[in-house]
């Protein structure tokens, strides 16, 4: 075997390095914030974002804790749900690598999410009252 | 030359096997989405119809404990992905430390949940309560949160298995098993992110 013939082990290593090189870097380039170097790279940055968003969620919930109905109540719910969805997307995209993996996986998880969302909206739309509603 | 072909074939087989395992886990997670959605839907309808009751329960419970628990679970997800990163970089000892930390934080989360359930028991919130001021809340609260807690428990057991195999070098050449476990753990984290928002804050 010549010196340059790839062995199975080196081929595996090369493949793994090519696949996840950017996940291993401690330097992250972000919109607005520019380039940041932090231990853990993008994973630590995402954790920081999750922590800040959670603190923001709790702050909103506590500041408006008497607002459960009406327009302010609806805005409070929209803000909290929006932050919750952003947090979930951050985990799916970066920690579960859905942004990098095969696109078919996005359909596998995306379609059931859409279907159950439609089902929940239907259940919410069923009028309550005599003989009606799902409560 | 023959060795090169063998290497290429083995590499291709590894790629297929890894892709299949990942596909299987995502399909499993898709089925979990449906199960949790049913429970979440039950809670959403209750929240719409009983805003006053939910407001009173939130007032009684507070958010300090559950917020701390949420931070613990988010940190465990970070530890999990850092463990995967470490084994991909060939740092086995670091990988073991991160996965160990993940299991530890998962256990801490379950302890927090136990404390919370004890507080709820003092408020006499039970599964079949239909007469108290919080009637109907118990089943809609305990079902999704306990089911999620059971997932965390299973996750800790899986994490210990990953630790056990990792110690023996099982993932040194192919860390797909760690990645699959990570998919499960992060999914459990996402479910909690939504339960925390919907049940405790909204």
**What's the confidence (pLDDT) of residue B62?**
83
pLDDT (tens digit, 9 = 90+) per residue, A7-49?
Answer: 555 555 554 544 555 778 888 888 877 888 889 999 999 999 9
In contact, A40 and A95? CB cutoff 8 Å: no
pLDDT tens across B57-72, in order?
Answer: 888 888 999 999 999 9
Flag if A58 and B26 touch (Cβ within 8 Å): no
- Is residue B13 scored above 70 in pLDDT? yes
Give the count of domains, chain A.
2
Residue B13 in contact with partner chain A when CB distance is under 8 A: no
Helix or strand holding residue A37 (H, E): strand A34-37
CA-CA-CA-CA torsion sign (B72, B74, B80, B81): negative
Asked whether residue A78 falls in the same domain as residue A43, the answer is yes
Instruction: Report the CATH superfamily, name and number, of domain B28-201.
Output: Cytochrome c oxidase, subunit III, four-helix bundle (1.20.120.80)
Largest alpha-carbon pair distance within chain A? 83
Q: Residue B84 — very low, low, confident or very high, per pLDDT cuts 50/70/90?
A: very high
Q: What is the mean pLDDT of residues B160-182?
A: 96
Q: Do A24 and B55 touch (CB under 8 A)?
A: no
Q: Is residue A55 part of a domain?
A: yes
Question: Is position A13 within any domain?
Answer: yes
Query: Does the residue A42 lie in any domain?
Result: yes
* Distance between CA atoms of residues B63 and B58, nearest Å: 8
Q: Are A82 and A121 in the same domain? A: no
pLDDT in tens, A66-75: 777 778 888 8
Q: Residues of A21-44 as b/e, b for ≥16 C-beta within 10 angstroms?
A: eebbeeebeeeeeeeeeeebbbbb
Residue A56 counted as domain residue:
yes
> Is residue A80 domain-shared with residue A126, that is, in the same domain?
no
Chain B residues whose beta carbon lies within 8 Å of the beta carbon of residue A65: 55, 58-59
Same domain membership, residue A117 and residue A79: no
Q: ipTM more than 0.85?
A: yes
Residues A18 and A49 in one domain: yes
Give exposure, B119-148, as e/b (b: 16+ Cβ within 10 Å): ebeebebeeebeeeebebbbbbbbbbbeeb
Establish if A2 belongs to a structural domain: no
Of B97, B120, B188, nearest in space to B151 by CA: B188
A-contacting residues of B 130-169, CB under 8 Å?
none
Residues A83 and A124 in one domain: no
pLDDT tens, position by position, A89-115: 999 999 999 988 888 999 999 999 999
What is the radius of gyration, based on Cα positions, of chain B? Answer: 21
The range of the structural domain enclosing residue A118 comes to 102-135
Question: Residue B14, Cβ neighbours under 10 Å: how many?
Answer: 17
Alpha helices in B50-136 (DSSP H): 51-61, 64-88, 92-122
Residues A68 and A128 in one domain: no
Give kind and range of the element (H or E) at residue A79: helix A70-90
Strands A27-30 and A34-37, by their bridges, are: antiparallel
**Chain B nearest-CA residue for A24:** B85
At residue A10, the pLDDT reads 55
Residue A64 corresponds to which tokens in the numbers above?
Answer: 């408006």
Q: Which residues of B touch A104 (CB under 8 A)?
A: 23
- In residues, how long is chain A? 135
Of B40, B48, B85, Cβ closest to residue A23: B85
Indicate whether A72 and A106 sit together in one domain.
no
* Interfacial A residues in 65-104 facing B (CB < 8 Å): 65-66, 68-69, 73, 76-77, 80-81, 83-84, 87-88, 91-92, 94-97, 101-102, 104
Assess whether A85 and A133 both reside in one domain: no
Q: Looking at the complex, report in whole angstroms how far the Cα of residue A64 sits from the nearest Cα belonging to chain B.
A: 10
Same domain for A59 and A75, yes or no, is yes
């Amino acid at each position: 075997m010549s010196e340059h013939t790839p062995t199975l082990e080196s081929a595996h290593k090369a493949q793994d390095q090519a696949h996840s090189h950017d996940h291993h870097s401690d330097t992250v380039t972000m919109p607005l914030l520019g380039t940041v170097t932090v231990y853990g790279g993008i994973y630590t940055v995402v954790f920081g974002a999750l922590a800040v968003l959670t603190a923001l969620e709790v702050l909103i919930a506590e500041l408006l804790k008497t607002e459960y109905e009406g327009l302010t109540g609806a805005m409070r719910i929209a803000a909290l749900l929006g932050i919750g969805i952003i947090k979930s997307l951050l985990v799916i995209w970066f920690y579960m690598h859905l942004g990098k993996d095969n696109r078919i996986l996005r359909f596998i998880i995306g379609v059931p999410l859409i279907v159950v969302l439609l089902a929940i909206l239907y259940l919410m739309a069923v009028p309550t009252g005599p003989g009606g509603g799902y409560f | 030359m023959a060795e090169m072909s063998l290497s290429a074939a083995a590499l291709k087989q590894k790629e297929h096997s890894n892709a299949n395992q990942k596909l299987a886990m995502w399909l499993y997670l898709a089925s979990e989405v449906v199960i949790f959605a049913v429970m979440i839907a039950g809670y959403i309808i209750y929240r719409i119809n009983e805003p006053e009751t939910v407001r009173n329960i939130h007032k009684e419970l507070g958010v300090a404990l559950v917020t701390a628990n949420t931070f613990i679970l988010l940190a465990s997800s970070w530890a999990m992905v850092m463990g995967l990163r470490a084994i991909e970089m060939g740092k086995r000892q670091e990988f073991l430390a991160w996965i160990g930390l993940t299991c530890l934080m998962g256990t801490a989360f379950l302890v927090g949940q136990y404390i919370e359930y004890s507080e709820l028991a003092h408020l006499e919130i039970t599964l079949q309560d239909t007469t108290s001021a919080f009637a109907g809340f118990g089943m809609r609260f305990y079902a999704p949160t306990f089911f999620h807690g059971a997932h965390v428990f299973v996750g800790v057991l899986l994490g210990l298995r990953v630790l056990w195999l990792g110690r023996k070098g099982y993932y040194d050449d192919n860390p797909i098993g760690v990645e699959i476990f990570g998919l499960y753990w992060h999914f459990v984290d996402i479910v909690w992110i939504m339960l925390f928002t919907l049940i405790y804050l909204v």
